[in-house]
Amino acid sequence: MGFLDKLKFSRLKEGLEKTRDDVMTKINRVVKAKRKIDDELLDEIEEILILGDVGINTTSGIIDRIRERVKRERYEDALELQGLLKDEVANLFKGETVETDGTSIQIPAGHKPYVIMVVGVNGVGKTTTIGKLAYNYKSSGKKVVIGAADTFRAAANEQLEIWAERANVEIIKQRHGADPAAVAYDTLQSALAKDSDVVIVDTAGRLHTKANLMEELKKIKRVMSKLKEDVPHEILLVLDATTGQNAIQQAKQFRDAVGVTGLVVTKLDGTAKGGVVIGISSEMDIPVRYIGVGEQIDDLQVFDREAFVGALFEGLTTEEERAG
């Protein structure tokens, strides 16, 4: 691992610390208390995972598969369970492996500009994520423009402007209250005129008028596709890890109403509900693209399932450890 990779991995581990402390410490404890794998131990682990926000369906699936393997492959030693668990969790993460330069996800050939629309309910971290994402693409040498299509929230323009400045990218905005679809249109038009590589469109997320919100998002899509048929290329749904199982409900609503091509799970730092990432990706069948591990501009990481599972399970008691 290079220096930067190590740095990122230690950031990820730091971000997952609370989850690890909570869920993994509990698993260590029940496993250490037993020598042999039995139904009681599997039940205890099942309960820990459910309480850890992995989700009931996902957890049942994991436990069923472990039970089957224990029988078939004749595992007996309780300490072998952690290896099995890690395997099963790693297997759950869906999705094509994404091409990444370590900072951002590679843009598929023939998409210029590559148009990303960012959706999600209020406060989940859309605007912050856009700032970080713009910074990541900019760092990868891309020309980025962001569109301030959350025209509903009073201070939304100013907030996005600050992020645009930090990331050193262009921003297109209109007055507060303007038609969000018109802002998106302007943004794409500007990107086409200036030969930009990436367009990122911010959107409103107020929930009290849910039907209107979904209609507004559909309209943004419709109006942008007048300029370029195949856009948006990516609809990123931002979910706040601290909301736990609620995030899955939100994901279903946005998926059904506007279509979602990728997930961003934010605020993994500071929550013990990091297990929600496992449940969401397996229950939604939509890949997790990025995770937020802090409030700073460089705190958005391309989701790397191996690194995630590694960071999550680090520190589990191993067989060698007990032997030694």
Interface stretch with Mg ion, choices 2-10, 37-45, 90-98, 120-128 (CB under 5 A):
120-128
Q: Are 262 and 291 in contact (CB under 8 A)?
A: no
Q: Phi/psi class of residue 185: alpha, beta or left (left: φ > 0; alpha: ψ in -120 to 50)?
A: alpha
Our CB check for ligand GDP shows the closer of 88 and 269 to be: 269
Contact between 266 and Mg ion per CB under 5 A: no
Contact between 127 and Mg ion per CB under 5 A: yes
Identify the burial level of 74 via C-beta atoms within 10 angstroms of its C-beta, where 0-12 means exposed, 13-18 middle and 19 or more buried. Answer: exposed
Our CB check for Mg ion shows the closer of 53 and 240 to be: 240
CA–CA separation, 284 vs 251, rounded Å? 7
Could you say which of Mg ion, ligand GDP, none residue 226 binds, taking C-beta under 5 to 8 angstroms by partner kind? ligand GDP
Nearest to 24 by CA among 59, 49, 58: 49
Could you say which of ligand GDP, Mg ion, none residue 295 binds, taking C-beta under 5 to 8 angstroms by partner kind? ligand GDP
- Least distance from ligand GDP to the Cβ atom of residue 131, Å: 8
Tell me the angle at which helices 56-72 and 276-284 cross, rounded to the nearest 10 degrees. Answer: 90
Our CB check for ligand GDP shows the closer of 88 and 234 to be: 234
CA–CA separation, 252 vs 318, rounded Å? 38
Q: Are 158 and 321 in contact (CB under 8 A)?
A: no
Under rule CB under 5 A, which residues in 270-289 are in contact with Mg ion?
none
Could you say which of ligand GDP, Mg ion, none residue 182 binds, taking C-beta under 5 to 8 angstroms by partner kind? ligand GDP
CA–CA separation, 218 vs 258, rounded Å? 6
Our CB check for ligand GDP shows the closer of 88 and 202 to be: 202
- Least distance from ligand GDP to the Cβ atom of residue 185, Å: 4
Could you say which of ligand GDP, Mg ion, none residue 185 binds, taking C-beta under 5 to 8 angstroms by partner kind? ligand GDP
Interface stretch with Mg ion, choices 124-132, 230-238, 256-264, 313-321 (CB under 5 A):
124-132
Nearest to 271 by CA among 236, 246, 235: 246
Q: Are 48 and 30 in contact (CB under 8 A)?
A: yes
Q: Which residue has its beta carbon closest to ligand GDP?
A: 292
- Least distance from ligand GDP to the Cβ atom of residue 58, Å: 22
- Least distance from ligand GDP to the Cβ atom of residue 84, Å: 31
- Least distance from Mg ion to the Cβ atom of residue 105, Å: 22
Binding site for ligand GDP (CB under 6 A): 120, 122-128, 179, 181-182, 185, 205, 223, 226, 266-267, 269-270, 292-295, 299
CA–CA separation, 254 vs 248, rounded Å? 10
CA–CA separation, 254 vs 118, rounded Å? 11
Could you say which of ligand GDP, Mg ion, none residue 294 binds, taking C-beta under 5 to 8 angstroms by partner kind? ligand GDP
CA–CA separation, 293 vs 255, rounded Å? 24
State residue 272 phi and psi, 5-degree precision. Answer: -95, 5
Our CB check for ligand GDP shows the closer of 113 and 292 to be: 292
Under rule CB under 5 A, which residues in 74-93 are in contact with Mg ion?
none
Interface residue list for Mg ion (CB under 5 A): 126-127
